[in-house]
Structure 1
Amino acid sequence: MWLRCLNATEAQEIIPEVHSGLCGAHQPGLKMKMKIKRLGYYWSVMMTDCMKIAKSSHQCQVHGEVLHHPPNVLHPTVASWPFECWGTDVVGPIDPPSSKGHWFILAATDYFLKRAEAIPLREVKAQHVLQFLKNQIVYNFGIPHKIISDNESAFKSTKINNFVRRHGIDWRYSTIYYLKANGLAEAFNKTLVQILKKDLGLKQKELA
């Protein structure tokens, strides 16, 4: 599509209207430039002018989205075959607990197939984690190559270190400054909590 080339005066009339006019959405500089080009206008320094308007807008600075960039380059966790890498985490404490007094859920998710294993627990200690790894993962799917978890005390103990060393497992901990490094386990935890809320809501309606 042919674009109409604007002079400086016309450009200064177009930018505020596109940015905060009747149909303006207070878009950032790059999106504002693309919108102006779709409307059929162009001038040589339109990107610079759009960025300047977006940065000088008070509403955009106050209500703009805060981006949390990690201090270092992220390295995505890529599994090459099923049951090679697992992400594990603890859900809870759950209030109210189950009828058997379970306050926590210990869960692990496979990075390749997204298969999840979970057990309820009254408390989470190193021996519970070891029993879970043996019964739910090693005996069923074989010894994993890598396990990712957070820095909870149940995951950092002498028993865990001996188990990992004996089976040659590469156990990695997500940093306390960026807990989303164990994002797959966190995503499953969120899904699990939503399922439990829905199920408990149905049970409460049936009891009522």
Structure 2
Amino acid sequence: MGISCNYTTKHRDAILRELHDSHMRISKMKALARSYFWWPKIDHSIEQLGKNCHICLGNRPETPKTVVSQWPEAKYPFQRVHIDLAGPIFGNKNFLILIDAYSKWPEVFELRKTDTFNIVECLREVLAIFGIPSTLVSDNAPNLTSEMFKNFCTNNGISHLTSPTFHAASNGAAENFVKTFKYSLTKMIQDSTNDLCIPDCKNFCICIAIRLILQLTETQLNLCSTEN
């Protein structure tokens, strides 16, 4: 539990405004608050903050559909990664989303173009940091099934699995994050008091939210695998 102090009403209001700056959901705000501060009925204050935010109310996500099937649990970091594209958002913004199935760690890249070349360049950057995954999962989009993309996977020893368009939920790890990404980004940009631009905020609240869900720190995520 966070530190309990005699916070004045003025201080509490300032803390709550800062807590909701990135428009996280109520459950995530509560988890973050417990790590740093506490006062009587703080949960109620956070609930009222979220329920009275017109930006959050106007951007509630749709009720998720039932997932057809689930992937087997990954046993180590970057054993399997899921990728998907988000966009265009706000006119012409496109992003490549990558999720590690083991740690749920996300990587987000803004794409100048959504062709295979630019996607592969982003993947090279990720692989240079975290290593080569055993399996990569994507949908059947032409830029993810092109000859260039097939050669990239083959040359790096990556097993590329695709989800059929009529069972897109089978790539749920990446698709769910795309929804979270759009949801968070939309709320932050609609907030006139938030001066963060897209390149600055694309990883901001999302990585925090995922660590709160998993109750993990960056160190505990242990992205460096000991597996051979």
Task: Tell me the TM-score range normalised by the shorter chain.
Answer: 0.5 to 0.7
SS in 2 for 1:92: strand
Q: Is the 8 A contact 2:95 2:108 kept in 1?
A: yes
Q: Which structure is larger by alpha-carbon Rg, 1 or 2?
A: 1
1:168 pairs with 2:173: no
Shift of 1:94: 1.0
Paired position in structure 2 for 1:88? 83
SS in 2 for 1:124: coil
Q: What is the aligned counterpart of 2:138 among 143, 146, 149? A: 149
The alignment covers a number of residue pairs equal to 131
Q: What is the aligned counterpart of 2:173 among 178, 181, 184? A: 184
Deviation string 1:32-57 (CA, Å, 9 cap, x unpaired) is xxxxxxxxxxxxxxxxxxxxxxxxxx
Deviation string 1:62-103 (CA, Å, 9 cap, x unpaired) is xxxxx9795xxx452321101111000000111234xxxxx2
RMSD between aligned residues:
2.0
Paired position in structure 2 for 1:64? none
In structure 1, what residue type is equivalent to 2:171? N
5+ residue gaps in structure 1?
Answer: 1-66, 98-102
1:139 pairs with 2:128: yes
TM-aligned CA distance change 1:195 to 1:162, over 3 Å = same
Partners of 2:76 and 2:182 lie apart in 1 by 28
Paired position in structure 1 for 2:98? 108
TM-aligned CA distance change 1:158 to 1:195, over 3 Å = same
After superposition, residues 72-87 of structure 1 pair within 5 angstroms as 74=69, 76-87=71-82
Paired position in structure 1 for 2:216? none
Partners of 1:69 and 1:125 lie apart in 2 by 29
TM-aligned CA distance change 1:165 to 1:199, over 3 Å = same
Shift of 1:205: 4.5
Partners of 1:93 and 1:194 lie apart in 2 by 14
In structure 2, what residue type is equivalent to 1:159? M
TM-aligned CA distance change 1:69 to 1:113, over 3 Å = closer
Q: Is the 8 A contact 2:83 2:136 kept in 1?
A: yes
| Percent identity between the two aligned chains | 27
TM-score, with normalisation over the residues of structure 2?
Answer: 0.53
TM-aligned CA distance change 1:128 to 1:206, over 3 Å = closer
Shift of 1:145: 0.2
Partners of 2:119 and 2:194 lie apart in 1 by 35
Partners of 1:128 and 1:184 lie apart in 2 by 22
TM-score, with normalisation over the residues of structure 1?
Answer: 0.58
SS in 2 for 1:88: strand
5+ residue gaps in structure 2?
Answer: 1-64, 196-228
Shift of 1:155: 0.4
